[in-house]
Amino acid sequence: MNWEYKAGGTHLFGWLVLVFFGFSCSTQSFDGMLLVAVQPTNTSGLTVLGENGYVAGSKIVAIHPESPNANPIELTNDFFAATAPELSYDGKRMLFSAQKSVSDKWQIWEMTLSGLQAQQLSHFTEDCISPVYLPGDRFVFSSFLKNDTVKNSFAVFQGKLDGSQIQQVSYDPQNHTALSVLKDGRVLSITQQVYPLVGDDKFMVMRPDGTKLELFCAHNEMEIFRSSAHETNDGKIVFVSENGNTKKSDLVSVDYNMPFHSRNVLSPELAGDFLFVRPGQNGQLLTSYLSESAQEFQLYSYDVEMHVLTEIWQYEEFDVLDALFIQAFERPRNLPSEVNSSEETGLLMCQDINFSGLESMAIDDKQKAQKIEIIGTEGSLGKVNVESDGSFYLKVDANLPFRIQTLSAEGEVIKGPGSWYYIRPNERRACVGCHTGTEISPFNQQPVSVRKDPVLIPVQKTLNK
């Protein structure tokens, strides 16, 4: 009897230990650890979306930086593939993109780090990537689309964190991928034109509702942006850039206030390659680096001032794609939206099409543009005469992609066509001039064009009134 009692007690004790252990694992704190996305080093023969991480066998793990030899905690065991982790502002939840099974498209999921419970947020028929949290319990991501508006490209969507109210917010034939959110609340993306010709990489920003799309920075034509860009606490935007000629990649920064004129290579003396970079702790950067003697991209901390790399962690037969500390961080601004879905148009005003860059307006009258042509994905949307001061004022169909080129009085092209843009319902936009960039202040004068009704685009609408 005593033996049986003790045996029963032993089994009961063992059961309690297992229950306690299981409870501890499901509620353990990940504070101070790192979320790390990895992919198999040899990805040949695997289906790739064209972006690092979106391959079979990719996964998200948690590691402790002070215990690099300990086994990582795998967070996405229930998924065929998972990548692109992003933390909520309180550091308690994670957005990521994943394939539940091999035949699934990539979709957006959210996981609580306390219980590792995952909920699917997107249910699209095409791939969804690059999820990022927004203020107000919302999130933003990219999804592949095929239609006459965006052609074949990744458009930007946003929605609520319960998976409801998901809506498209970008409407141009350009890929918007590798999203991040600046402290000012705008969404920053790597953008590449896909139609009519494939263009170069550039960083563009927009509000979360898709309004105010504009160029943030672009450099030489052969530059390829290999990672999303992230803002540091000292006002720098850091990213990985690859030289299209040499194929060498570097850590690069630009100033938030002067992104066009502040490009700085942070890793000039390092001969290896990089895959990502993010702000780390104590002013240092987290990065993935492949030295000339290594087999895998390993996780490092980088001291910008001393130009010193310190190894944090390596995972045999896996490349480190991304990493971020699990901790609370400052929430970006919650920008209000001017979009009104009941409206069918938006407004666009330009002060002077003959003003370009930092040049003065003192050019010969014979060289000045007298007209503009608005060009859509299927051809011309109309030509408009500009006013005597070079200004124009348009009412444009909402969510209609267009480009603008300037014309002489005889109809010859002077500049353009420029980049793709669109106007969201009820959006009001203004620009200083033609290809002036975002660092030029407007003139302190009222354009002649706004003293009249706006010209309707497509122009054919005017004839129907």
Over residues 282-312, the pLDDT tens digits come to 999 999 999 988 899 999 999 999 999 999 9
d(CA 27, CA 21): 10
The reply to whether 361 and 227 lie within a common domain is: no
**For residue 192, which amino acid is it?**
Q
Q: Is 134 a domain residue?
A: yes
End of a domain among 272, 291, 325? 325
Q: Do 357 and 281 sit in the same domain of this protein?
A: no
Per residue in 193-211, pLDDT (tens digit) is: 999 999 999 999 999 999 9
Same domain, 223 and 281: yes
- CA triple 56-289-134, angle to 5 deg: 65
Grade residue 22 by pLDDT with cuts at 50, 70 and 90. very low
Task: Give CA 356 to chain center in angstroms.
Answer: 28
Read off the tokens for 92.
Answer: 């308690």
Band (363; pLDDT cuts 50, 70, 90): low
Q: Which residue has the higher pLDDT, 29 or 340?
A: 340
Structure-block tokens of residue 338: 């001017």
Question: What is the Cα–Cα distance from 239 to 277, expressed in whole angstroms?
Answer: 6
Asked if 297 and 289 touch (Cβ cutoff 8 Å), the reply is yes
Distance CA 346, CA 46 (A): 44
Distance, in Å, from the CA atom of 61 to the CA atom of 74, rounded to the nearest integer, reads 4
User: How is residue 450 annotated by DSSP?
Assistant: G
The answer, yes or no, to whether residue 103 has pLDDT greater than 50, is yes
Does residue 362 fall inside a structural domain? yes
pLDDT beyond 90 at 51:
no
Give a yes or no: residue 70 inside a domain: yes
Say if residue 315 is in the same domain as residue 372: no
Select from 248, 224, 251 the least CA-distant residue to 240.
251
Task: Give the number of domains in the chain.
Answer: 2
Q: Report the pLDDT averaged over residues 392-413.
A: 95
Between residues 440 and 33, the one the model is more confident about: 33
| Window from 45-59, 105-119, 236-250, 425-439 with minimum mean pLDDT | 45-59
pLDDT bucket at 3, cuts 50 / 70 / 90: very low
- Position 464 confidence tier, pLDDT thresholds 50, 70, 90: very low
Are 56 and 333 within 8 A, CB to CB?
no
Question: What's the pLDDT band for 32 if we cut at 50, 70, 90?
Answer: confident
Please give the span between the terminal C-alpha atoms of the chain, in angstroms, as a whole number.
100
Are 101 and 299 a contacting pair, CB within 8 Å? Answer: no
Helix (H) or strand (E) holding 9: helix 2-27
The answer, yes or no, to whether residue 361 has pLDDT greater than 70, is no
Count Cβ atoms within 10 A of the Cβ of residue 23 and give its class: 0-12 exposed, 13-18 middle, 19 or more buried: exposed
Tell me whether residue 170 is in a domain. Answer: yes
For 66, phi then psi, to 5°, come to -90, -5
Helices H / strands E in the chain, number of each: 2, 33
Q: What is the predicted pLDDT for the residue at 31? A: 83
Confidence band for 353, pLDDT divided at 50, 70 and 90: confident
Q: Are residues 253 and 282 in the same domain?
A: yes
Can you name the residues that pair with 134 across neighbouring β-strands?
A: 138
- Looking at residue 236, what is its pLDDT? 97
Q: Could you say which DSSP state residue 222 is in?
A: T
Average pLDDT, integer, range 327-356: 93
Mean local confidence (pLDDT), 236-249 = 90
Report the alpha-carbon distance of residue 345 to residue 284 in Å, rounded. Answer: 46
How much is the mean pLDDT over the chain? 87
Which of 404, 409, 410 shows the shortest CA–CA distance to 381? 404
pLDDT at 105: 94
Q: What is the mean pLDDT of residues 110-125?
A: 96
What does the pLDDT read at residue 267? 93
Tell me: the pLDDT tens digits for 152-162? Answer: 999 999 999 99
Both 418 and 453 in one domain: the answer is yes
User: What pLDDT does residue 324 have?
Assistant: 96
The pLDDT of residue 8 is 37
Q: In whole angstroms, what is the distance from residue 129 CA to residue 150 CA? A: 17
Cα 176 to chain centroid distance, Å, stands at: 6
Domain that holds residue 295: 29-325
Distance CA 98, CA 3 (A): 52
Look up tokens 């991480």; give the residue. 53
DSSP state of 106: P
Strand order from edge to edge, sheet including 73-74: 73-74, 59-63, 34-40, 318-325
Of 22 and 356, the one with more pLDDT? 356
Does residue 5 form part of some domain?
no
Task: Read off the CATH number of the domain in which 42 is found.
Answer: 2.120.10.30
> What's the average model confidence in pLDDT over 424-452?
77
Name the nearest CA neighbour of 62 among 33, 38, 40, 20. 33
- Strand runs labelled E in 291-335: 298-303, 308-313, 318-325
Q: Is the pLDDT of residue 367 over 90?
A: no
429 located within any domain: yes
Is residue 39 located within the same domain as residue 71?
Answer: yes
Token pair, residue 161, equals: 């964190």
Domain end among 325, 359, 382: 325
pLDDT of 9 > 50? The answer is no
209-233: pLDDT as tens digits: 999 999 999 877 778 898 899 999 9
For residues 147 and 19, the model is more confident at: 147
User: What pLDDT, on the 0 to 100 scale, is given for residue 52?
Assistant: 66
Q: Residue 341's Cα: distance from chain center in Å?
A: 24
Q: Say if residue 47's pLDDT is above 90.
A: no
Q: Label residue 364 exposed, middle or buried (CB < 10 Å: 0-12, 13-18, 19+).
A: exposed
What share of residues in the chain are helix, strand, coil (percent, to 5)? 10, 40, 50
Residue 462 zone, left/alpha/beta (φ > 0; ψ -120 to 50; rest): alpha
Tell me the mean pLDDT in the region 62-87.
94
Whole-angstrom Cα Rg for the chain: 26
Does the residue 10 lie in any domain?
no
If you search the block for the tokens 């003697």, which residue do you land on?
Answer: 293
The reply to whether 320 and 436 lie within a common domain is no
CB 457 within 8 A of CB 374: yes
Task: Report the alpha-carbon angle 355-202-325, nearest 5.
Answer: 130
Here the tokens at position 27 are 């509620």
Write down the pTM of the prediction: 0.89
Q: Are 282 and 267 in contact (CB under 8 A)?
A: no
pLDDT for the residue 129: 96
CATH classification of the domain holding 411: 2.60.40.1120
One domain for residues 306 and 433: no
- Domain end position, chosen among 261, 293, 325: 325
What's the confidence (pLDDT) of residue 191? 95
